[in-house]
Amino acid sequence: MYLSIIVLPLLGSIVTGFFGRKIGVTGARLLSCTSIIITTILAIISYLEVGFNNNPVSINLFP
């Protein structure tokens, strides 16, 4: 979940940037807004989990 907060906006912008003409204006708008909305919801959930429940989180990117 925590890595998807970073990856979703990046993936949405890459797809919109490279394939914007193929998916159309409406598709590009829908894709970018959906990725930002999902990222916002996940960020709120992670904030509540870490901030209020005092659950420490560590993410190992590389072994």
Binning the chain into helix, strand and coil, the percentages to the nearest 5 are 80, 0, 20
Structural domain boundaries of the chain? 1-51
Average pLDDT over residues 51-62: 85
| Per-residue model confidence as pLDDT tens digits over 14-42 | 999 999 899 999 999 999 999 999 999 99
3-class DSSP state of 20: helix
Confidence of residue 1 (pLDDT cuts 50, 70, 90): confident
Q: Scanning the structure block, which residue is given the tokens 């906006």?
A: 9
